[in-house]
Copies of this chain bind each other. A is one copy, B any other.
Amino acid sequence: MEEKQFVKEIADIEENFAQWYTDVVLKTGLVDYGPVKGTMVIRPYGYAIWENIQKDLDRRFKATGVQNAYFPMFIPESFLKKEAEHVEGFAPEVAVVTYAGGEKLAEPLIVRPTSETIIGYMYSKWLSSYRELPILINQWANVVRWEKTTRPFLRTSEFLWQEGHTVHATAEEAMEETLLMLKVYKDFAEETLAIPVITGRKTEKEKFAGGLATYGMEAMMLDGKSLQAGTSHYFGQNFTKAFDIKFLDKDGALKYGYSTSWGVSTRLIGAIIMAHGDNRGLVLPPEVAPVQAIIIPIAAHKGGVTEKAKEIESALCAAGLRAETDVRDMSPGRKFNEWELKGVPVRIEVGPRDIEAGQVTVMRRDTLEKFTVPFTELTARICALLKEIQKEMLALSRARRDKKIVHADTLEGILGGVEGKNFVKAGWCGDRACEDRVKEYAAATARVMCDEEGIPERCAVCGKPAKHNVIFARAY
């Protein structure tokens, strides 16, 4: 009965996915709305997920030789204008500081929407010789993009992200870095978030303002829409020329470097929610779950129950797991609901009868399966179970997604596909007009190109010979 009451608290995931999302993010205490329109507060439960994301990604970046640094948030307005496409892309979204220290500023300052310009300025100061290349620097920071329509995690005026900025001696090395970081992101999304992603190059329309090529990774949400979960940009010499980033090469010639940038943001938390949730709420992959195992004492007032629960908690924590005991004075049923809503991967119930039988009852959040485990095997079994859940969540997501990738060779086919909540693969002639037509007719955008899978004969829009194999989808 309690479960039923509980289910009413969040909208039905099939009936109203958008409301389900809003209910889940607010009621689990992941996030709240800030006082300024379009801003969010990342509450402790949400921030703990971000900390796990940061820790894992940071390790992956550093393994490729990247170091962290921190650049100022305020960018002189003139910097933004040095790269023509860049200013066009970002100027409409920026927040501008015009007063500081009680005085009007001589030059307004832009709050960084991204840091290519200010980092480019510093690289130009620092770089002199080929010996200092490559420059491989990342920063974890807040950025601001003033958006009209916002949703927690998915699109907010201020968000947290990381932005890597690298400079290389040759175009080849810069392109290698671009693709290496795309691979790092893909491995991270799949191994750590249990979200299968499709990576590929973006069309000219969808690429980063000021770049030569953008590569993105796209994840399918439970409603069939795509979420751009990360991007890696190849800039060629666009920014190195705009910011005069030069080096003396081995051959004695002064040359411009080639640069890249790549980033993921707190948007990933939105992706986790919408890739794995269900009608009971969140389902968190063990790798990023703030609590991996919640221990719930049953009839906690009976002698030895809470002690046993705490003993299990200690054993699990000692094995490196994030385990907690819920000792609050409320019914186990309410606790079950709350921790299911919060998506904790494993629940461990321990009561007087369990203690007598030398076992506990375990529930997996992803499959809702329940089974008993003897005390003597508990720690080893929970460790193994978390690994298994992590693997199976990815496999399930992948199977679910793969069934929803369809092919189309007409505009109607694309519309039908996306209305059926699919990703639609279709041939494209490469003309912007045909890409715009898909947007207009099917409210879908070109997510990435996957030409390496083979190119269809004709453009699904105009019928001319196709140059690319594009995934079209509706997107967040």
| Minimum CB–CB distance for A251 against chain B, Å | 18
0/1 per residue, A131-161, Cβ < 8 Å to B? 0000001000110101110000000011010
Known contacts A35-B76, A36-B76: does B71 contact A146 (CB below 8 Å)?
no
Instruction: Indicate whether A1 reaches chain B with its CB closer than 8 angstroms.
Output: no
Given known contacts A36-B72, A39-B74, A137 and B99 CB-to-CB distance under 8 angstroms: no
Which residues 98-132 of A have a CB within 8 angstroms of B?
98-102, 108-109, 111, 118, 121-122, 125-126
Contacts of A100 in B (CB 8 A): 94-96, 144, 146, 157
Bound together, the chains give a CA A96 to CA B109 distance in angstroms of 10
- A92 / chain B contacts, CB cutoff of 8 Å: 101-102
When distances are taken between beta carbons in the complex, the residues of chain B under 8 Å from A157 are 72, 74, 100
Are B74 and A97 in contact, with the CB atoms below 8 A? no
Q: Which of B35, B43, B50 contacts A121 (CB 8 A)?
A: B35
- Chain B residues lying within 8 Å of A42, measured Cβ to Cβ, are 69-70
A405 to B46, CA, bound (A): 47
A44's partner among B73, B137, B147 (CB-CB below 8 A) is B137
Distance (whole angstroms) from the CB of A125 to the closest CB of chain B: 7
The 8 Å CB contact of A70, one of B72, B93, B109, B160, is B160
**A108, B99: Cα distance in complex, Å:** 10
**A212 CB to closest chain B CB, in angstroms?**
25
Residue of B nearest to A99 (CB): B96
> Does A383 sit at the interface, judged by CB under 8 A?
no
Q: Does A34 touch B at the CB level, under 8 Å?
A: yes
A297-324 residues with Cβ-Cβ distance < 8 A to B are: none
Pick the most buried of A34, A46, A69, A70: most chain B CB atoms within 10 A of its CB: A70
Task: Known A39-B74, A72-B40, A158-B72; judge A99-B101 contact (CB<8 A).
Answer: no
Interface flags for A54-88 (1: CB within 8 Å of B; 0: not) read 00000000000001111111111001000000000
A146 to B104, CA, bound (A): 12
Q: Is A385 an interface residue (CB 8 A)?
A: no
Q: Is A51 an interface residue (CB 8 A)?
A: yes
Return the contact of A67 from the options B48, B125, B146 (Cβ within 8 A): B48
A121: which B residues are within 8 A, CB to CB?
35
Chain B proximity of A270: nearest CB distance (Å): 15
Question: Across the interface, do A68 and B51 meet the contact criterion of CB distance under 8 Å?
Answer: yes
Given A35-B76, A74-B144, output 5 extra A-B contacts at Cβ < 8 Å.
Answer: A34-B122, A35-B79, A48-B67, A94-B101, A98-B99
* List of 7 A-B pairs having minimum Cβ-Cβ separation, nearest first: A101-B146, A44-B67, A39-B72, A95-B100, A34-B72, A42-B70, A96-B99
Q: List 16 A-B contacts (CB under 8 A).
A: A36-B72, A36-B75, A41-B122, A46-B69, A51-B68, A70-B160, A74-B95, A74-B144, A74-B157, A74-B158, A93-B101, A95-B101, A96-B99, A98-B98, A98-B99, A101-B147
| A→B interface (CB under 8 Å) | 32, 34-36, 39-44, 46-48, 50-51, 67-76, 79, 91-102, 108-109, 111, 118, 121-122, 125-126, 137, 141-142, 144, 146-148, 157-158, 160
